[in-house]
Amino acid sequence: MILSTDKTQLCVLTGGKTAYPVYMTIGNFDKAVRRKPSYHAQTLVGYLPTSALGDTELNETSARLGRFRLFHKAMNTIFAPLKAVAQHGLELTSADGAVRHGHPILACYPADYPEQSLVTCTRYNVTCPKCDISSDKLGNGKLGTRREQNETLRKIHRAAEEHSKTRMNAKLKSEGLNYIPHPFWENWYLSDIHLAMTPDILHQLYQGVVEHLIGWLRKLIGDAELDARFKRLPPAHGVRRFKSGISGLTQVSGPEHKDICKQLLGCLLATSSVPLGAVRASRALLDFLYLAQYPSHSDETLECLQTALDEFHANKEVFLNLDARLGT
Amino acid sequence: MKEKLGLSYNNSRSLNQVINELPALAEWNLHNLTLDDSETTESIELWCRDPTDALKSLWGSPALFQFMKFAPEKQYTNSTMKKRLYNEMNTGNWWWKKQASVMSRMVDIQN
């Protein structure tokens, strides 16, 4: 089973109403079919509540936690029938008439980072939905210990046994978790919600890593010079022309980031103002970016992916040394 | 004419009846939720479909049948079978692992 949820703005004119649809599909379909809406391979199974607990007497924090628990309760209500048959399976008839015995197991849950945090009960902007790394250690290139569904549940329940709410919160905080006593994936046969989280190219690579990279380079080279270099590039087919450079862009969208990435490396080379390390680190990140989007991987390309990452870590020092990193 | 064409209906009404017997998409249900462990007792509406029915209709879709995979695979870059290829979901390790867990459980039940 592949589930996905996404909060969507319906129409700004009607007062910013949002919808929160839940979609479901199966991994038996080819991925090219799953992503095309015209094939109807995704089924809408429900609409989650969006406006609940908006104006209550609760304070901000407990209202937010209440909304988290409401999400899990609603998801649990929707998927209870499926969870019930996951272990023993059910008879499924495909279009050729063959009857197969199927076990609906939660495999993937593609979502953006805020939703990943919500789904896995991990704390937003504090830790990772897949491992137990804390936000201050993200840059050191080492992996945290992988989170495991049953371990997460045990941690939440153990914290709930504490006598006072303050101590419970402190305990959960140190684990980077939120108090959700019954997440919807609880007892779902053979599922591991942390494993089901998938990387998100738009938010995590283009709007995440690339945005940082551009920020560092702008500080390193200077807005005026970087803009001038973008302007100097000769026009070419399939490449966007940034007539007034890139520093003036606000709310840079995914496609704009893609257009910037195509030309970025060309703007770094052949000048003394950019140290070699910065060029290498940028190239490694861009390599990683493009390798990560391959529709098919082999052991070899995965190795290249790791090499690109290692090369970035080996060369990233230059951004720190030159004070190019924002916020330092 | 009915016999000649081999139709399964007499008139438009019975044609509609035949159509109505086709498997349809799952129906919508309304649930009312309350958060029992919170201070508020706000009742919240939740509209959803039965996911098992939704699964059955996805699985049985004639249009999508040609794109379906039923068994895990291992694909390699060449005939030496040294380097694996990963693309569709059934070419990864997850399908193999889950299949093994489900199978071992089945054997346990049979014994």
- List pLDDT tens digits, range A84-140: 888 888 888 888 888 888 888 888 888 888 888 888 888 888 888 888 887 777 777
Chain A residues in contact with B83 by the CB 8 A cut-off are: 298-300
Write a three-state SS string for chain A.
CEEEECCEEEECCCCCEEECEEEEECCCECHHHHCCHHHCCCEEEEECCCCCCCCCCCCHHHHHHHHHHHHHHHHHHHHHHHHHHHCCCEEEECCCCCEEEECCCCCEECCCHHHHHHHHCECCCCECCCECCEHHHHHHCCCCCECCHHHHHHHHHHHHCCCCHHHHHHHHHHHCECCCCCCCCCCCCCCCHHHHECCCHHHHHHHHHHHHHHHHHHHHHCHHHHHHHHHHCCCCCCCCCCCCCCCCCCCCCHHHHHHHHHHHHHHCCCCCCCCHHHHHHHHHHHHHHHHCCCCCEEHHHHHHHHHHHHHHHHHCHHHHHCCCCCCC
Asked if the Cβ–Cβ distance from A46 to B48 is below 8 Å, we say yes
| A96: its two tokens | 């050729």
Last residue of a domain, one of A175, A196, A217: A196
Considering CB atoms only, which of B40, B44, B77 is closest to A58?
Answer: B40
- Do A184 and A266 belong to one domain? no
Residue of chain A whose alpha carbon sits nearest to that of B26: A45
Query: Residue A327 above 50 pLDDT?
Result: no
Instruction: Give yes or no: residues B39 and B73 share one domain.
Output: no
B76 and B30 inside one domain: no
CB-based contact, B84 to chain A, within 8 Å = yes
Q: Which residues contact A202 (CB under 8 A, 6 or more apart)?
A: A112, A254
* DSSP label of B63: T
Is the Cβ pair A28, B102 closer than 8 Å? no
Let me know whether B55 and B103 are in one domain. no
Residues of B in contact with A22 (CB under 8 A): 48
Q: Are residues A214 and A276 in the same domain?
A: yes
Residue with more model confidence, A139 or A242: A242
Note whether A226 and A265 are within 8 A (CB): no
**A327 domain-assigned:** no
Task: Tell if the CB–CB gap between B68 and A81 is shorter than 8 Å.
Answer: no
The answer to whether the Cβ–Cβ distance between B40 and A53 falls below 8 Å is yes
Q: Is residue A98 in a domain?
A: yes
Number of domains in chain A: 2
Q: Are both A23 and A52 inside the same structural domain?
A: yes
Chain A residues whose beta carbon lies within 8 Å of the beta carbon of residue B33: 49, 70, 73-74, 77
More confident residue, A174 or A139: A174
Q: Decide if B4 touches A, using CB distance below 8 A.
A: no
Residues B57 and B89 in one domain: no
Closest residue to B35, CB basis, from A69, A93, A298: A69
Q: Say yes or no: B11 and B29 in one domain.
A: yes
Residue A275, pLDDT score: 83
* Residues of chain B positioned with their CB less than 8 A from the CB of A78: 46, 48, 51
Give the nearest partner residue to B69 out of A28, A85, A103, using CB atoms.
A28
Domain identity same for B21 and B47 = yes
Interface check B99 vs A, CB under 8 A = no
Residue A306's pLDDT band, with cuts at 50, 70 and 90, is: very high
Instruction: State whether A274 and A233 are in the same domain.
Output: yes
User: Is A295's CB within 8 Å of B87's CB?
Assistant: yes
Does residue A184 carry a pLDDT above 50? yes
Total residue length of chain A: 328
- Domain check: are B58 and B8 in the same one? yes
Whether residues A137 and A233 share a domain: the answer is no
Q: What is the mean pLDDT of chain B?
A: 79
Whether residues B21 and B55 share a domain: the answer is yes
pLDDT at A14 over 60: no
* Residue A66 and residue A60 in contact, taking contact as beta carbons nearer than 8 Å: no
Which pLDDT belongs to residue A283? 92
User: Closest by alpha carbon to A5, among A109, A82, A78, A108?
Assistant: A109
Do B17 and B58 fall within a single domain?
Answer: yes
Decide which of A161, A196, A231 is a domain's last residue: A196
Do B27 and B76 belong together in one domain? no
A88 shares its domain with A125: yes
Pair A187, A146 in one domain: yes
Q: How far is A214 from chain B (nearest CA, A)?
A: 31
Instruction: Please state the domain count of chain B.
Output: 2
Q: Do B94 and A107 touch (CB under 8 A)?
A: yes
Question: Which of B65, B68, B88 faces A31 most closely, judged by CB atoms?
Answer: B88
Residue A272's pLDDT band (cuts 50, 70, 90):
low
Q: Is the pLDDT of residue A191 over 70?
A: yes
User: Which residue of chain A comes nearest to B54, CA vs CA?
Assistant: A43
pLDDT at A230 over 50: yes
pLDDT surpasses 90 at A284: yes
Whole-angstrom Cα distance, residue A68 to residue A119?
Answer: 9
Looking at the structure, do residues B7 and B45 belong to the same domain, yes or no? yes
| A166: its two tokens | 């303050």
In a domain? residue A328: no
A177/A209 same-domain check: no
Q: Which residues span the domain enclosing B48?
A: 1-65
Q: What is the mean pLDDT of residues A156-174?
A: 84
Structure tokens at B77: 């870059």
Minimal CA separation from B18 to chain A, in Å: 18
SS3 label, residue B40: coil
Tell me, yes or no, whether A77 and A101 share the same domain: yes
A57 chain-B contacts, CB cut-off 8 A: 39-40
Its domain, for residue A22, covers: 2-196
Tell me if A265 is assigned to some domain: yes
Q: Does B19 touch chain A (CB under 8 A)?
A: no
Residues A174 and A218 both lie in one domain = no
Residue A120 is assigned to a structural domain of this protein: yes
Question: What number of other Cβ atoms are within 10 A of residue A238's Cβ?
Answer: 6
Name the pTM for this structure: 0.80
CA of B14 vs chain A CAs: smallest distance (Å): 24
Rounded mean pLDDT of A226-244?
87
Contact list, A24 vs chain B (CB under 8 Å):
51, 54-55, 58
Do A169 and A76 have their domain in common?
yes
B86 and B103 together in one domain: yes
Q: Are A124 and A114 in contact (CB under 8 A)?
A: yes
**Which position has the higher pLDDT, A165 or B40?**
A165
Quote the minimal CA–CA distance from B60 to chain A in Å. 4
**Residues A245, A242: Cα–Cα separation, whole Å:** 5
| Residue A303 pLDDT class (50, 70, 90 cuts) | very high
If you search the block for the tokens 């030309």, which residue do you land on?
A263
Pick the last residue of a domain from A158, A180, A196: A196
Q: Is residue A328's pLDDT more than 50?
A: no
Beta bridge partners of A19: A8
Kindly give, in sequence order, each residue whose CB lies less than 8 Å from that of residue B71, ignoring residues fewer than 6 positions away.
B90
Question: Are A309 and A263 in the same domain?
Answer: yes
Residue A326 lies inside a defined structural domain of this protein? no
